[in-house]
Amino acid sequence: MVNLPIPLCNNRFRKVLILLFHMVAIVFSLVDAFALRFDLTIPSYYWPTILALLPVVVILKITVFWAMGLAEGWWRYVSIPDLMQIFKANALASVTVVLYIVFFHSFEGLPRSVIVLDFILCFSTMIGVRVITRILREHVALNLKGYHSKPKSVLIVGSGVVAQSIVREIRENPKLDKAVLGYVDNDLRRQGKVFYGVPVIGTQDDLEKICSRNGIDLVIVAQSSVTPRELRDIVGFCKRNGITSKILPALGDIIDGRVSMEQCRPVQLEDLLGRAPIRLEVQEINAYLHGKRILITGAAGSIGSEICRQVAKFNPSHLVLFENAETPLFHIENELREKFPNLVISPSLSDIRDVARVTQVFSEFKPQVVFHAAAYKHVPMSEVNPIEVVKNNVFGTKNIVDASFACSVEHFVQISTDKAVNPTNIMGATKRVAELYVQNLPRSGGSKAVTVRFGNVLGSHGSVIPTFRQQIQKGGPVTVTHPEITRFFMTIPEAVQLVLQAGCMGQGGEIFLLDMGDPVKIVCLAEEMIRLSGRKPYEEIEIVFTGLRPGEKLYEELLISGEGVKATRHEKIRIFEAANFSSQWLRDETALLLQATRETDVDRVVALLKELVPEFHNCAIAGAQADLNSSQGLDSLNLVLKKNPEQDW
């Protein structure tokens, strides 16, 4: 005799019980249907018909129920989708019985109302038993786990599906040792309502009163229920009162299973800065990505790796990872192979500056869609290495663009930056030249080549957020270049969503820009990150102003003078039509620039960049800024801020 594992035995035993229950429900429903039809007194001449019909109905209905999965699932978790499946199964089963009677001319004289009553009774019985099972189980389970005796020390912000799922998780998991007092929700229509046995007891304005009266020690925020500003207020209140605050991402972001307390995490800066999610035209994106050969340069970088992850969801036929950093390429390849085992992936350890290698890769894989994310991006590093930055950002882009056109790429999307607007540094100027090259060449070809321009992304390699985190972990000080410096920010997934959307919207030569909202002061970022770490800015962690770095601007811009702004069908995306340039002039100038880089003539390189980008100018820090960057000016400013540390974000 084969010894089956205990879970398998239990599963088979459960299915046998469900089978028996379904058979009893079918018999009960048919007999009761006749009884109701004849006022609870079935005529004796109908009993032979009933006994002959029962085996047919049982076999047909059991077959349909089994085929539609009614023997699966756990009754303790029965939900609306389960009830809909039961309804469909019963409807199909009744139709099957009717078809049997019609085609085989059996049971003539059978009252038609019996079939309808049988359907209603069978459906009601199967639903009723499942719902009662869930109610009894949950009631008994809560008493056995002592849920009602636990102090109600948890408050949930929001009362939607995500919030209700957390209530269920807390009630069913005794290891959490928590009980929920209620929800707070700004939707006045929900006030006083009860969801999953827990009432809505106020709005966010009542948070302080509720917490102080009831000894709340944990506030869980359903992310979709609050705005970033409201979230900042909630986090600030919790920190002032020693209450733990956690956030649960939106239900659509949780793809690994049902909502669980395991997805609850501390509030992060990205949550406080986040905006409403971008609406994606998924069908259009799928149309140009699904089943296509796609190549991504800079595939292991912050933006490039996220492009890989999101593109892979659209099931391309082949994904080529073009990257010159070996270890990061190794990691992104392994991650993608684990998440998308059926996806064909080719890691290409390649450099965009190597013309021969670029030509070889494009000839071998013949990509249909190219996302160009490879670039040198750090402003201070670029200022001291201008030749290498020009080689990479300008001529590396030229190599990729030329190879794309040679292979008749259908869609080409270049990643650019707001630093390309009126650039004051080498990095911005080189990215602007790359924009010009992409903009002007597509007009004579069939490929759709566009540029996507956006600001800083939160958490990218070497950006301000990881730098601040490291400084805070070391106990400070946190260094900010200037108290008035601002930047536009977005999350990496948000930026990549824009990239994918723009790829299917452009006709060639456009620059796309996301409505990125208001710029954020970097010093405010530093202060909030210190607060999120549980410390006080200027008291426990110092913020020190070091002065603007070479090539750095106080304010980033999004438009160049002369660029025309046009709306698109997407409410968060705009198009900029740049001025026309002669393609021949552009080729001649880039040829001169290439010669200057080969001769390592830095002055000539900078001069040619200014010819290509007339708005490129050195960042001159004068007047008050010069005083601020002086040692005396910075010391005075730091002293003032220590005396007045609180700023309203």
What are the DSSP calls for 201-256, one per residue?
EE-GGGHHHHHHHHT--EEEEEGGGS-HHHHHHHHHHHHHTT-EEEEE--GGG--S
- Residue 626 neighbours by CB under 8 Å, 6+ apart: none
| Contact yes or no for 497/280 (Cβ under 8 A) | yes
Which residue of the set 419, 431, 553, 572 is catalytic? 419
DSSP calls for 28-51? HHHHHHHHHHTTT---GGGHHHHH
> What phi, psi does 581 have (nearest 5°)?
-130, 150
Of the candidates 20, 91, 26, 86, the residue with the CA atom closest to the CA atom of residue 53: 26
Tokens at residue 195, please?
């969801």
Structural Rg of the chain based on CA atoms: 33
- Could you tell me which of 380, 379, 376, 382 has the C-alpha nearest to residue 395? 376
Annotated active-site residue 419? The verdict is yes
Scan for tokens 């018909």, then name that residue: 49
Contact indicator for 409, 447 with CB cutoff of 8 Å: yes
- CA dist list (Å): 444 to 390, 412, 508, 509, 588: 25, 14, 10, 10, 17
Q: Name the residue among 245, 243, 242 with its Cα closest to residue 232.
A: 245
CA distance 595 to 597: 5
| CA–CA separation, 507 and 452 (whole Å) | 13
Residue 489 and residue 273 in contact, taking contact as beta carbons nearer than 8 Å: yes
Q: Give the 3-state DSSP-derived string for 534-594, with helices as H, strands as E and coil as C.
A: CCCECCCECEEECCCCCCCCCCCCCCCCCCEEEECCCCCEEEEECCCCCHHHHHHHHHHHH
Only one residue has tokens 């750090």, namely 378
Structure token pair of residue 387: 């030749």
509: left (phi over 0), alpha (psi -120 to 50) or beta: left
Phi-psi region of 300 (alpha: psi -120 to 50; beta: other; left: phi over 0): alpha
Per the CB < 8 A criterion, the answer to whether 353 and 392 are in contact is: yes
The CA distance from 273 to 490, in Å, is 8
Please say whether the dihedral angle defined by the alpha carbons of residues 640, 641, 644 and 648, taken in this order, is positive or negative: positive
Distances in whole angstroms, Cα of residue 408 to Cα of each of 370, 401, 500:
11, 10, 19
Q: What angle do CA 504, 508, 512 make, to 5 degrees?
A: 65
| Cβ(565)–Cβ(574) below 8 Å | yes
Q: Which residue has the tokens 């209530």?
A: 167
**Active-site annotation, residues:** 419
